[in-house]
C-alpha cells in the first residue's frame, strides 16, 4: 500500500482517493499488483503520417489563451443530441467537435442505418466487408456532423463468456479482432470521421465497472489484474492494430487496472499506449470515467467527457504551483487539434452536430445521413455474419416449400420502432421482438426494419406459397403439412449488465415443443454473445440451426436469402460454443466482490492467455462447436501446403528501431509465408474462410495467425496465402520488454476451423 501513498504524494493531492473507500486501505492483501509509475507523459511527436497535422496544430496552439486550451480538454453542455461536445473557438476558426455513439452505427437519431454489430462482422471473417461497412458508417457520421465515432470496441475482448458487451466487439481472439479493427479504423477515418477505439483496457465485465455506494459504503470499480505477458499477447494486441491503423483517439475505460483507474493509469496510458505503441492521437475518457484530477493529466489523459469537475482552472493552478508541467497541457491540446487537421475537418466538414437534434421529437431540419450507395454493403454485412452450425436431411436451403410455419417471439417486429435505442435490463432473452442489435450505447437506429416474418411473407408472395405463424405461444399448434418449421429465439445483452446465463428455459422449451411436432424444425437464434444449444441440438427433428448474431436492419431480408439459397452461408464462429456452461471454467461469470475485499473488487486474470479455444485446447475439452466453425451449402477440400521462410534475418529485435505508430516497425517484417490450395468440392458456388493456426514453442497448442475468405465457384480452386510477421511468431518477454521469436519448432495448421485442420506442417527458427 505504501507505494500507492508515495504516488499520491508525488502527484500532489491527486484524487486516487476521491472515489476510493476511506476505510481498510491498510492491508496489502487488496493489492494483487500495482501499476508501476511511468512519468512524464510522452509528448506527441507528429511521426509518420501525422507530420503536417502536428505542424498546423502547433501553430494554432501557439495562438490560444489558457482558458481556450482548458476548454479544449473537456466537454461542455450542449443543445444538440451529440453524446459530447467540445466548444468552438470562433476567434481562431476552430469549429468545435461533436462526438457520438457508437461502433455499430449512429445512435439516437433519424435518417441513419442500423448496421450489423461487431460480433456479426467478426463472424463474417471478411476484411473487405469490415472496411466497407466502416467506410459507409463513417460517411453517415460525416453527413450528420459527427467528428468522432465512439467506437469501435476491442475491449471487452470477450474474456468473460457472459460479458454484457462482448457483442459490440468482433471476437474473443485478438488476431481476428486486430485484423478487423484495423480495417474498421481505416474505413471510418477514410471518410473523414475519427474513431476512439475503446475501452482501454481490461474492460472485460460490466459487473462493478463503476464505483458505487452500497449501504453507505463506497465500493471501487473492479480491478482487472493483468500480468505483463497476458496484456501484450491478448488485450493490448488489437489496440496495437488500431493504433497502427491511425486511430485518432483511444477511450480509457471505467475499470481499474492493477488497482489504478484506467483514465489515470500511467503504466497503460504513458507507458504501453504512448511510449510502446507510439500513439499520436488523444486519450478521451469514457463518460464519467475520470476519478483523479492532476493525477489523470500526468498519467496521460487528454480529454474528459462529458464535462470535467476536476480539471478546468485547476490545471492552470497546478501548472502555477508545479504539480503539472505547462507542456502537458500544450501536448493535450496539440494532440486534440492535430486529429482535426489529420481528418481534414478544418476544411471539409459540416457544422458539428448539424444532424443531431437534442431529441428526434423536437422541431428540427431533416439531415439525411444515409445514401442509396450503402444498400449493397448493408445487406452483405447482414448476410455474412450468419453461421450455419447444423444442417441435416438436406433441410437447407429450402426447396420451394409449399407451407412454412413460423414460431417464436424473435420472428416479429416490435410494437413501435424508435430511434432512441434503449439501455435494456438484466434479461436473458425474450425482448419479444426480433433482436437485430444489443442494448446500451452500442445500440443503433434503423431506417426501417426487415423482420424475418416480413421477409418470409414477401417470399411466400413471390413464390405463391403459404406461410403461417404463431409468434407468441410457447407450445404452438403445428400444421402437419408444414414442410419446414422455423423457430426464432434470441439471446439478449446490453451495456450495464453481464448476461444472466448462456441459455434461457423459455426459449429452449419453445424449441423442444415445436420439434416434438415437426420433423423439419429449423432454429434461428439472434445472439448477442455465446449461446449454448445443449437442450435440443441432438434432437432428431432439429434439422438445421443458424446462429444469426445481430444483423442490423436488413436482418429478415438477409436471412431469407440464406434460407432459400440465394446466398450461401459463409460465417464462422468468432468464439467457442461449449457443450455446457461450466466448460468455460473461471471465466464463465464476471468476478464478483469477495469478502473481505468487497470494497475493492478484484478480478485476477490468472488464466493468462487461456481463454476460449486456447483454454479448450489446453484442457482437451471437446466443444459443441469450435472456434472458426461454420457450414456451407458446399464443401471445400484442402491441399498443397507450402511453408517457407521468406526472411533469413530472424535475429531478435534490432534495438535501433525507432517507434512508429503501432510500435516497433520491425514487428511487421514478414518471416514466414504459408500457402495452400482450396477446392470447392461440392455442388454450389460458395465462400470459404481458410484459417491458419500456429503452435508457437512453449505457447498455446495453437493460435489463429491468418485467415483469408475466398469465393470459389463449383469445382474451382483458389490459392490462399498467409504472411506471418514477427509479432505473429513472437511471445512477449517480460525480462526483455520486447516481442521475441522463439528458438525451436513451430507447428503450422491450415483448414476450416480451429479443430478441422487437414493440412499440417512445421518450420524451425
Ligand atoms: C478490514 O478488513 C478486515 C479483513 O482484512 C476486516 O476484518 C475488517 O472488518 C475490515 N474493516 C472494515 C472497516 O471494513
Ligand atoms: C500489473 O501487475 C502485474 C503483476 O505485478 C505486472 O506484470 C503488470 O505489468 C502490471 N500492469 C500494469 C498495467 O500495471
Ligand atoms: C470556455 O468554456 C466556458 C463554458 O463553456 C465558456 O463560458 C467560456 O466562454 C469559454 N472560454 C473561452 C475563452 O472560449
Ligand atoms: C479565419 O477565417 C477567416 C476567413 O477564412 C480568415 O480571414 C482568418 O484569417 C482566419 N483566422 C485565423 C486566426 O486563422
Ligand atoms: C467480402 O465482403 C465483400 C464486401 O462486402 C464482398 O463483396 C465479398 O464478396 C466478400 N468476400 C467473400 C469471399 O465472401
Ligand atoms: C477544481 O477541483 C475541485 C475538486 O478537486 C472542484 O471542486 C472544482 O470545481 C475544480 N475547479 C474547476 C474550475 O474545475
Ligand atoms: C496545486 O494545485 C492543484 C490544483 O488546484 C491542487 O490540487 C494541488 O493540491 C496543489 N498543490 C500544491 C502543492 O499546492
Ligand atoms: C415477453 O413475453 C413474455 C411472455 O408473454 C413475458 O413474460 C415477458 O415479460 C416479455 N418480456 C419482455 C422483455 O417484454
Ligand atoms: C418428430 O416429429 C414428428 C412429427 O413430424 C413426431 O411425430 C415425432 O414424435 C417427433 N420426434 C421426436 C423425437 O420428438
Ligand atoms: C416428416 O413428416 C412428413 C409428414 O409430416 C413426412 O412426409 C416426411 O417423410 C417426414 N420426414 C422424415 C425425414 O421423417
Ligand atoms: C527481413 O528482416 C530484416 C531484419 O529484421 C528487415 O530489415 C527486413 O525488412 C525484412 N524483410 C522483409 C521482406 O520483411
Ligand atoms: C480432395 O483432394 C484430394 C487430394 O488433394 C483428392 O484426392 C480428393 O479426391 C479430393 N476430394 C474431393 C471431394 O474433391
pLDDT tens digits, 338-354: 999 999 999 999 999 99
pLDDT given at position 30: 46
Q: Which of 67, 76, 297, 309 to mutate to test the pocket of ligand 6 (most atoms within 8 A of CB)?
A: 309
> How large is the average pLDDT for residues 455-484?
97
Percentage of the residues of the chain whose pLDDT score is greater than 70: 92
Q: Which atom of ligand 1 is nearest to the CA of 24?
A: 1
**How many other C-beta atoms are found inside a 10 Å radius of the C-beta of residue 727?**
25
Residue 215's pLDDT band (boundaries 50, 70, 90)?
confident
Q: Which atom of ligand 12 is nearest to the CA of 640?
A: 5
> How large is the average pLDDT for residues 680-689?
98
Minimum-distance ligand to the CA of 22?
A: 1
Give the C-alpha separation, 144 to 173, whole Å: 33
Contact 151, 250 (CB under 8 A): no
pLDDT given at position 418: 74
DSSP category for residue 235: I
Give the three cell numbers for residue 661.
Answer: 505508430
pLDDT given at position 361: 85
Query: What digits encode the pLDDT tens for the residues 243-260?
Result: 999 999 999 999 999 999
pLDDT given at position 649: 63
> How large is the average pLDDT for residues 475-492?
97
First to last CA, the chain: 44
Half-sphere exposure of 589 (CA within 13 A, CB side): 7
pLDDT given at position 598: 72
Average pLDDT along the chain: 93
H/E element holding 282?
Answer: strand 282-285
* Cα-to-centroid distance, 419 and ligand 6 (Å): 36
> How large is the average pLDDT for residues 152-176?
98
pLDDT given at position 655: 54
pLDDT given at position 730: 96
The closest of 163, 230, 166 to 589, measured between CA atoms, is 163
* Any atom of ligand 9 within 6 Å of the Cβ of 478: no
Query: Rounded to 5 degrees, what angle do the CA atoms 628, 633, 639 make?
Result: 60
* Any atom of ligand 11 within 6 Å of the Cβ of 647: yes
Give the C-alpha separation, 592 to 601, whole Å: 7
pLDDT given at position 21: 40
* Any atom of ligand 6 within 6 Å of the Cβ of 297: no
H/E element holding 384?
Answer: helix 375-384
pLDDT given at position 7: 27
Give, in order, the Cα–Cα distances in Å from 743 to each of 655, 740, 746: 19, 9, 9
pLDDT given at position 331: 98
Highest-scoring range by mean pLDDT, 412-416, 645-649, 673-677: 673-677
Q: Given a cut of 90, is residue 431 above it in pLDDT?
A: no
> How large is the average pLDDT for residues 268-296?
98
The closest of 548, 510, 555 to 527, measured between CA atoms, is 548
pLDDT given at position 14: 28
Q: Which residues are catalytic?
A: 286
Atom 6, ligand 9: residue with shortest CA distance: 517
Domains annotated on the chain, with CATH: 34-342 (3.20.20.300), 386-567 (3.40.50.1700), 634-764 (2.60.40.10)
Residue 26's pLDDT band (boundaries 50, 70, 90)?
very low
* Any atom of ligand 9 within 6 Å of the Cβ of 540: yes
Query: What digits encode the pLDDT tens for the residues 309-341?
Result: 999 999 999 999 999 999 999 999 999 999 999
**How many other C-beta atoms are found inside a 10 Å radius of the C-beta of residue 403?**
16
Give the C-alpha separation, 58 to 40, whole Å: 20
Q: Given a cut of 60, is residue 23 above it in pLDDT?
A: no
pLDDT given at position 6: 26
* Largest separation between any pair of C-alpha atoms in the chain: 83
Query: What digits encode the pLDDT tens for the residues 182-201?
Result: 999 999 999 999 999 999 99
Count helices and strands in the chain by DSSP H and E runs: 18, 27
Percentage of the residues of the chain whose pLDDT score is greater than 90: 87
* Any atom of ligand 2 within 6 Å of the Cβ of 227: yes
- Beta-ladder partners of 679: 637, 717
Contact 524, 442 (CB under 8 A): no
Confidence (pTM): 0.94
Q: Given a cut of 50, is residue 497 above it in pLDDT?
A: yes
Residues 6+ apart with CB under 8 A from 613: 173, 576, 623, 626, 627, 628, 754
pLDDT given at position 424: 57
Give the C-alpha separation, 431 to 293, whole Å: 41
Residue 423's pLDDT band (boundaries 50, 70, 90)?
low
Minimum-distance ligand to the CA of 439?
A: 8
Query: What digits encode the pLDDT tens for the residues 621-662?
Result: 999 999 999 999 999 999 999 999 997 666 666 555 789 999
Q: Given a cut of 60, is residue 708 above it in pLDDT?
A: yes
* Any atom of ligand 4 within 6 Å of the Cβ of 714: no
- What is the strand order of the sheet 703-712 is part of? 703-712, 686-695, 745-751, 759-764
Amino acid at each position: 500500500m505504501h507505494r500507492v501513498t508515495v504516488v499520491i504524494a508525488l502527484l500532489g493531492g491527486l484524487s486516487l482517493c476521491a472515489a476510493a473507500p476511506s476505510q481498510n486501505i491498510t492491508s496489502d492483501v487488496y493489492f494483487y499488483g500495482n501499476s508501476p509509475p511511468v512519468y512524464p507523459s510522452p509528448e506527441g511527436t507528429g511521426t509518420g503520417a501525422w507530420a503536417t497535422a502536428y505542424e498546423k496544430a502547433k501553430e494554432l496552439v501557439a495562438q490560444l489563451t489558457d482558458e481556450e486550451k482548458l476548454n479544449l480538454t473537456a466537454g461542455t453542455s450542449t443543445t444538440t443530441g451529440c453524446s459530447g461536445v467540445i466548444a468552438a473557438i470562433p476567434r481562431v476558426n476552430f469549429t468545435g467537435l461533436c462526438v457520438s455513439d457508437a461502433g455499430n452505427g449512429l445512435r439516437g437519431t433519424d435518417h441513419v442505418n442500423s448496421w450489423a454489430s461487431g460480433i456479426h462482422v467478426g463472424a463474417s471473417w471478411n476484411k473487405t466487408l469490415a472496411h466497407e461497412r466502416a467506410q459507409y458508417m463513417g460517411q453517415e457520421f460525416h453527413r450528420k456532423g459527427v467528428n468522432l465515432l465512439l467506437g469501435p470496441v476491442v475491449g471487452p475482448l470477450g474474456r468473460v463468456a457472459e460479458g454484457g458487451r462482448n457483442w459490440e466487439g468482433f471476437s474473443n481472439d485478438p488476431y481476428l479482432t486486430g485484423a478487423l479493427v484495423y480495417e474498421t479504423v481505416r474505413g471510418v477515418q477514410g471518410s473523414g470521421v475519427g474513431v476512439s477505439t475503446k475501452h482501454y483496457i481490461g474492460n472485460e465485465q460490466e459487473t462493478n465497472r463503476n464505483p458505487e455506494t452500497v449501504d453507505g459504503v463506497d465500493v471501487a470499480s473492479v480491478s482487472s489484474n493483468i500480468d505483463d505477458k497476458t496484456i501484450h499477447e491478448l488485450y493490448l494486441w488489437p489496440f496495437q492494430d488500431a493504433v497502427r491503423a491511425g486511430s485518432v483517439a483511444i477511450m480509457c475505460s471505467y475499470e481499474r487496472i492493477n488497482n489504478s483507474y484506467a483514465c489515470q493509469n500511467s503504466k497503460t496510458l504513458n507507458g504501453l499506449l504512448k511510449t510502446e505503441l507510439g500513439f499520436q492521437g488523444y486519450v478521451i475518457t469514457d463518460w464519467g470515467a475520470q476519478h483523479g484530477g492532476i493525477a489523470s493529466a500526468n498519467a496521460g489523459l487528454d480529454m474528459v467527457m462529458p464535462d470535467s469537475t476536476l480539471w478546468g482552472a485547476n490545471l492552470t493552478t497546478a501548472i502555477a504551483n508545479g504539480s503539472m508541467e505547462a507542456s502537458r497541457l500544450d501536448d493535450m491540446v496539440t494532440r486534440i487539434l492535430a486529429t482535426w487537421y489529420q481528418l481534414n475537418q478544418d476544411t471539409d466538414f459540416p457544422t458539428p452536430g448539424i444532424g443531431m437534434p437534442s431529441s428526434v421529437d423536437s422541431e428540427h431540419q431533416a439531415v439525411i445521413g444515409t445514401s442509396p450507395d450503402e444498400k449493397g454493403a448493408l445487406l452483405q454485412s447482414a448476410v455474412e455474419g450468419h453461421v450455419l452450425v447444423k444442417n441435416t436431411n438436406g433441410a437447407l436451403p429450402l426447396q420451394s416449400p409449399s407451407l412454412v410455419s413460423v414460431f417464436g417471439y424473435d420472428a416479429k417486429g416490435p410494437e413501435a420502432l424508435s430511434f432512441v435505442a434503449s439501455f435494456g435490463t438484466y434479461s436473458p432473452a425474450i425482448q419479444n421482438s426480433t433482436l437485430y442489435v444489443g442494448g446500451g450505447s452500442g445500440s443503433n437506429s434503423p431506417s426501417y426494419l426487415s423482420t424475418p416474418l416480413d421477409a418470409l411473407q414477401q417470399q411466400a408472395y413471390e413464390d405463391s406459397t403459404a406461410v403461417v405463424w404463431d409468434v407468441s405461444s410457447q407450445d404452438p399448434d403445428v400444421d402437419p403439412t408444414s414442410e419446414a418449421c422455423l423457430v426464432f429465439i434470441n439471446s439478449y445483452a446490453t451495456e450495464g449488465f453481464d448476461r444472466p446465463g448462456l441459455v434461457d428455459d423459455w426459449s429452449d422449451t419453445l424449441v423442444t415443443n415445436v420439434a416434438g411436432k415437426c420433423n423439419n424444425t429449423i432454429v434461428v437464434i439472434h445472439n448477442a454473445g455465446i449461446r449454448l444449444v445443449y437442450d435440443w441440438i441432438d434432437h432428431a427433428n432439429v434439422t438445421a440451426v443458424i446462429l444469426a448474431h445481430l444483423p442490423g436492419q436488413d436482418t429478415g431480408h438477409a436471412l431469407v436469402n440464406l434460407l432459400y439459397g440465394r446466398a450461401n452461408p459463409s460465417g464462422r464462429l468468432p468464439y467457442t460454443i461449449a457443450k455446457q456452461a461450466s466448460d468455460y471454467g473461471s471465466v464463465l461469470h464476471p468476478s464478483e466482490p469477495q469478502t473481505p475485499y468487497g470494497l475493492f473488487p478484484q478480478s485476477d486474470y490468472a488464466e493468462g492467455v487461456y481463454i476460449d479455444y486456447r483454454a479448450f485446447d489446453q484442457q482437451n475439452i471437446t466443444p459443441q462447436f469450435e472456434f472458426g466453425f461454420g457450414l456451407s451449402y458446399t464443401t471445400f477440400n484442402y491441399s498443397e501446403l507450402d511453408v517457407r521462410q521468406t526472411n533469413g534475418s530472424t535475429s531478435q529485435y534490432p534495438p535501433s528501431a525507432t517507434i512508429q505508430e503501432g510500435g516497433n516497425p520491425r514487428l511487421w517484417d514478414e518471416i514466414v509465408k504459408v500457402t495452400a490450395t482450396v477446392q470447392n468440392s461440392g455442388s454450389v458456388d460458395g465462400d470459404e474462410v481458410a484459417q491458419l493456426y500456429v503452435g508457437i514453442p512453449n505457447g498455446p497448442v495453437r493460435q489463429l495467425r491468418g485467415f483469408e475468405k475466398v469465393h470459389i465457384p463449383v469445382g474451382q480452386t483458389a490459392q490462399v496465402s498467409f504472411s506471418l510477421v514477427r509479432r505473429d511468431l513472437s511471445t512477449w518477454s517480460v525480462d526483455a520488454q520486447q516481442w521475441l521469436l522463439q528458438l525451436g519448432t513451430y507447428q503450422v495448421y491450415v483448414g476450416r476451423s480451429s479443430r478441422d485442420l487437414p493440412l499440417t506442417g512445421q518450420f524451425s527458427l
